[in-house]
């Protein structure tokens, strides 16, 4: 694929939302839906929806709309949810444990295989039948096991050194919860969840009115 | 403030990142920085940085750059971090407990005042000295206490009914971790953290190359 055919991140970030809404329609036994009806539910314009989906193929039919099950399947495939992923968590603090306990990720094909922490009080404890290992074992674990996605939940100051180990062992996907921007080669994909930044965006918007009235 | 002077969400979402980088500079005793140097660190172009900051005022000086402490303070104020917020959490499952334990939010002015859950096994348990209350107490708590931000961590199916209670009691800020889009009046601000969608975005990007080579 050339760089030019890459889909914009704005479109990509809307895909999981389509997937979620179509999943809800399926659960409600709705077989087909017009782009207008889908638009009313999801809150994007009908033309936006058609444009987004056109990036990936020719879905829907004039006068019929979308076959919900078919479109849900197609978007699942586009999102890579038809595949299986071995995941590991590094950092079994609050957020690491919360993510580890999210068993619903399994149904999308994300299988938690190992958890690492450096705290001796946590090492040996089991979360969902997975024993927390000493982070010193991380390198050798990666030598001996196929890992698709590593989830970084360590404090900010340790995140880059963990990322360096992951990259050196060939990990290409990192889900990063540490509040820092990791430096990695171009072929490694990082998806950040910066909770503090999300909370600050909320406080900004709560204060926005005052800001410009002062 | 008229609608027209509202800052675009793309700019708003970059503000916490400026705040974080300037905070790191401060910790490293760096007093001033040019927009070029800031650009090298943060990864936005210097002109982007100038444009973003110009939305809020006249920062920085030709030939001097930015005074780090001053700019950090100003961005703190813009983000509303000079104020104090009473927060409550509804839903003390995995993610609710993780957020409750994030004591670092306190330093930005977000004070956790109460936690609610409907699980009798959790009610009465303390997290950071805050006793989990029965969610049936939520309405009367809101009648008697000032709450600025409510954090929804309940399962999808219960999220809207919790939001309805919050809205009826005048809550204007909701940080929503439930994987659903809440329906609220226009004057209520919702900030979503949809973890599944973030993970799906990562799997999309891991598969993007194959998608267009097939």
Q: How far apart are CA A166 and CA A138, in angstroms?
A: 9
> What sign has the CA pseudo-torsion B72, B78, B83, B88?
negative
Confidence of residue B8 (pLDDT cuts 50, 70, 90): confident
Residue B185, pLDDT > 70, answer yes
Question: What are the structural domains, with CATH classification, of chain B?
Answer: 3-77 (1.10.10.10), 85-197 (3.40.50.720)
Q: Which residue of B has its CA nearest to A55?
A: B212
- The predicted-structure confidence for B13-29, as pLDDT tens digits, reads as follows 999 999 999 999 999 99
CA B52 to each of CA A24, A149, A195, A201, A202: distance values in angstroms, whole numbers, following the listed order: 38, 34, 22, 15, 18
Binding site per annotation, positions of A for NAD(+) = 91-96
**ipTM reported for the complex surpasses 0.90:** yes
- Gyration radius (Cα) of chain B, Å: 21
Number of neighbours of residue B5 by Cβ within 10 angstroms: 11
| Cβ of residue A152 closer than 8 Å to a chain B Cβ | no
**Inter-chain touch B201–A13, beta carbons under 8 Å:** yes
B-proximal residues of A, 185-214, CB under 8 Å: 189, 191, 193-209, 211-213
Closest to B52 in 3D by CA, of B70, B74, B69, B27: B74
Q: Choose, out of A5, A95, A204, the residue to mutate when testing the contact with B (most B CBs < 10 Å).
A: A204
The separation between the first and the last C-alpha atoms of chain B, rounded to the nearest angstrom, is 51
Residue B3, pLDDT > 60, answer no
Walk along chain A (214 residues) and give the pLDDT tens digit of each residue: 444 457 888 899 999 999 999 999 999 999 999 988 999 999 999 889 988 988 888 887 777 889 999 999 999 999 999 999 999 999 999 999 999 998 889 999 999 999 999 999 999 999 999 999 999 999 999 999 999 999 999 999 999 999 999 999 999 999 999 999 999 999 999 999 999 999 999 999 999 877 776 5
Spell out which residues of chain B touch residue A202, defining contact as CB-CB under 8 Å: 149, 173, 175, 189, 191
| Cβ of residue B107 closer than 8 Å to a chain A Cβ | no
pLDDT at A140: 98
Question: Which among A181, A194, A199 is the nearest to B175, CB-wise?
Answer: A199
- From the centroid of its chain, how far is CA A168? 22
**Inter-chain touch B1–A97, beta carbons under 8 Å:** no
pLDDT at A132: 98
| Cβ of residue A155 closer than 8 Å to a chain B Cβ | no
Tell me A8's DSSP state. P
Q: Cβ neighbours of residue A51 under 8 Å, at least 6 residues apart?
A: none
Q: Cβ neighbours of residue B10 under 8 Å, at least 6 residues apart?
A: none
The separation between the first and the last C-alpha atoms of chain A, rounded to the nearest angstrom, is 51
User: Do residues B75 and B82 lie in contact, with contact meaning Cβ atoms separated by under 8 Å?
Assistant: no
B-proximal residues of A, 16-55, CB under 8 Å: 16-17, 19-20, 43
pLDDT at B184: 97
Question: Which among B12, B172, B202 is the nearest to A175, CB-wise?
Answer: B202
User: Do residues A206 and B172 lie in contact, with contact meaning Cβ atoms separated by under 8 Å?
Assistant: yes
User: What 3 state SS string does B29-56 have?
Assistant: CCCEECHHHHHHHHCCCHHHHHHHHHCC
């Amino acid at each position: 694929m050339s760089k030019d055919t890459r889909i914009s991140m704005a479109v990509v970030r809307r895909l999981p939302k389509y997937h979620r809404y179509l999943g809800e329609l399926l659960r409600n036994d709705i077989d087909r839906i017009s782009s207008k009806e889908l638009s009313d539910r999801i809150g994007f314009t009908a033309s936006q929806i058609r444009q987004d989906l056109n990036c990936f193929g020719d879905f829907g039919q004039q006068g019929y709309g979308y076959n919900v099950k078919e479109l849900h399947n197609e978007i699942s495939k586009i999102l890579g949810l038809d595949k299986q992923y071995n995941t590991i968590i590094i950092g079994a603090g609050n957020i690491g444990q919360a993510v580890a306990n999210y068993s619903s990720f399994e149904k999308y094909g994300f299988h938690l295989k190992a958890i690492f922490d450096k705290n001796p009080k946590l090492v040996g404890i089991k979360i969902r039948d997975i024993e927390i290992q000493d982070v010193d074992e991380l390198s050798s674990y990666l030598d001996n096991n196929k890992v698709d996605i590593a989830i970084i939940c360590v404090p900010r100051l340790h995140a880059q050194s963990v990322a360096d180990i992951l990259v050196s062992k060939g990990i290409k996907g990192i889900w990063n919860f540490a509040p820092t921007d990791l430096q990695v080669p171009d072929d490694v994909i990082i998806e950040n969840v910066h909770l503090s930044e999300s909370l600050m965006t909320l406080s900004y918007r709560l204060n926005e009115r005052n800001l410009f009235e002062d």
